[in-house]
Every structure is written in C-alpha cells, then in structure tokens.
Amino acid sequence: MTMDIGLDSVVSADGTTISYRQLGSGPGLVIVHGGMCASQHYLRLAEMLADKYMVYVPDRRGRGMSGPAGNDYGMEKEIEDLAALLQKTGARYIFGHSSGGLITLEAALRLPIRKIAVYEPAVSINGSVPTAWYPKFERALRKKNPAAAIALVIKGLRVSSKLNFVPTWALACLMRLSQREEEGRELAKLVYTFPLDMSLVRAQESTYQKYRDIRTDTLLLGGNKSPAYLLDAVRIIAETVPAAKIATLPGLDHGAPNNDPGQLISDELKQFFGRQEVRVWNGEASTTT
C-alpha cells in the first residue's frame, strides 16, 4: 500500500523557503539528508518509521524544492532552516545522515531537541575526510561534466562498498548512462550542490570536542562496510558526547539510509527514539519520560 505523502514548506529566518515532505503519525521526527541527495531519497526510510512517528523530510536549501543556498551559505543557515521547521512542526527528534548528521550534531548544541540519531556524520578529525580528489571534482563541475564529478565523489570518499573496485573512468561511464533515467538526471543536478556539503565539513574541521556539551540522548550509527575514517569518527564522537550510544550495523555501507535502509536502521531508530530519555547535567545522567 502506498502511503500518503504531504508537501508543505516553512520560511527560514532569511526569507528562504524550505520545502518538506511529511508522512505518518505520532511524535515528530525530522530526517536531515546528506550530500548529493534530497528528500525523495529518504522516503523508503521515512515509510518504515511512519507507523510510529510523524516524519518530516526537508529539502535542505539549494536542493530539491527548497529555495537557493544563498551567497552566505554555511552552518548558521542550515541551523536556521532546521529551527524554522522545528518551530512550525513541534518535532523534537532528529535523524541526520552524513553531512546531515554533521548538521544534526551542531543543532543539538543550539536548538530545543529531545533526542538525536546520526548515521556516519561527516565529521573530519585531523583531516580524516579525504580531499585529494577534490580539485579534479571542481574541474569536472567547471567543465559541466556531472558524470565524472559523481564518480570522483564516490571513489574519493569510498562511500559505496559495491563500487570500490570499479575504476573511476568506468564509473563515470555508468553515471553518464544513468542520466537517461530520471533518477540519474536528478543526481546530475544534485552533484553541483556537493561543494556546499564540503564547505560545512571544512568549516567544522577538528572541532568535535565541542560535542561534549551535547546534553541530549544521542545514538551514533555506522555500517561495517563503510570506510574506516567514517567509523573512527563515529567512535570518537561516541566517546565525546556524554549521553551517547553506538551501534555498528552489519552489511551496510555509508549510503544505506538513502539507498537501501532495510529494517536494521529503522529498527534501531524506533528502539532509540522510543526509549526513556537520558539527559546529562554536570556530568551526571538522569532519565526523563
């Protein structure tokens, strides 16, 4: 049965329209998408959660149905957008993936959130996120070659366990062929927004120690087929956030939340958001209902 999906929008602090999809019923849960993605890529996961939660999946600014990123794009704008959505919907649970996970961690420091969960947040610690590929990526964008740019992201960040052994040139050919279909054409447009995500990663380089001030109950997820630099960051953040739990999910790689979430991710999220809250004050944990 196809679930009813509503469309709505909210106006952020600077006047930018942030559009979002919503489905389900129950406590509000926001999904913050990662790079080269938009809200539609997380609908499978949203549908798995919609029996327990009212799920809101926004298009981050510059992507999908939302307004432009703007010349002063940065973490402050992402936080303002999320704040506007939380204020309108009353949602207090957030799940973030990749760069969306980075935004979620930052939001936990500033916004009225009860619980957060993140899947392999794009946190760079002492230059852990690979960047050697990035100049070639920028050249591919300047040359209007989105297929090559997509291939460089996938190979450079090693985010797909299924494509790790495909040569970059061959992967670029596959991406070019994929543009014959709507999904491939969408990806070709979204790759031009990826510098926005990389700007967030660079701006937050090696600032993870501030996450010790997060007082919300936190779940950190990773897949055992993901690259070591992402799983190392998950572990370090889990050791930094006072009320953090960590889970490594078998058979999943970095793209699992938007590509093939299955039951593992949704089950973890339902168990986590459904549990009694743990809040940490002055280093001491307490529970709330």
DSSP 72-130: T-SHHHHHHHHHHHHHHH---EEEEETHHHHHHHHHHHHS--SEEEEES----SSS-S-
DSSP tag of 217: E
Q: What is the pLDDT of residues 155-173, one digit of tens each?
A: 999 999 999 899 999 999 9
Q: What is the pLDDT of residues 175-202, one digit of tens each?
A: 999 999 999 999 999 999 999 999 999 9
Q: What is the pLDDT of residues 217-251, one digit of tens each?
A: 999 999 999 999 999 999 999 999 998 999 999 99
Residue range 148-158: average pLDDT?
Answer: 97
**Using CA atoms, how far apart are residues 216 and 245, in angstroms rounded to an integer?**
11
pLDDT for 283 equals: 52
pLDDT for 164 equals: 87
**Using CA atoms, how far apart are residues 36 and 196, in angstroms rounded to an integer?**
10
**Using CA atoms, how far apart are residues 30 and 104, in angstroms rounded to an integer?**
10
**Using CA atoms, how far apart are residues 259 and 149, in angstroms rounded to an integer?**
19
Residues of the chain with CATH 3.40.50.1820: 6-125+205-288
pLDDT for 287 equals: 54
User: Tokens in use for 155?
Assistant: 């190979």
Instruction: Count Cα atoms within 13 angstroms, Cβ side, for 46.
Output: 30
Fold of 6-125+205-288: Rossmann fold (3.40.50)
Q: What is the pLDDT of residues 12-55, one digit of tens each?
A: 999 999 999 999 999 999 999 999 999 999 999 999 999 999 99
- Which residues, including other chains, have CB under 8 Å from residue 150's CB and lie 6 or more apart? 36, 171, 172, 175, 187, 188, 191
Continuous segment of H or E residues that includes residue 247 = strand 244-249
- What percent of the chain has pLDDT above 70? 94
DSSP tag of 3: P
Rounded to 10 degrees, what is the CA torsion of 39, 40, 44, 49? 30
60 pLDDT above the threshold of 80: yes
Q: What is the pLDDT of residues 262-277, one digit of tens each?
A: 799 999 999 999 986 6
Lowest-confidence region among 7-21, 135-149, 275-289: 275-289
pLDDT for 289 equals: 40
Q: What is the pLDDT of residues 109-137, one digit of tens each?
A: 999 999 999 999 999 999 999 999 999 99
Does this model's pTM top 0.75? My answer is: yes
- Which residues, including other chains, have CB under 8 Å from residue 132's CB and lie 6 or more apart? 156
286 pLDDT above the threshold of 90: no
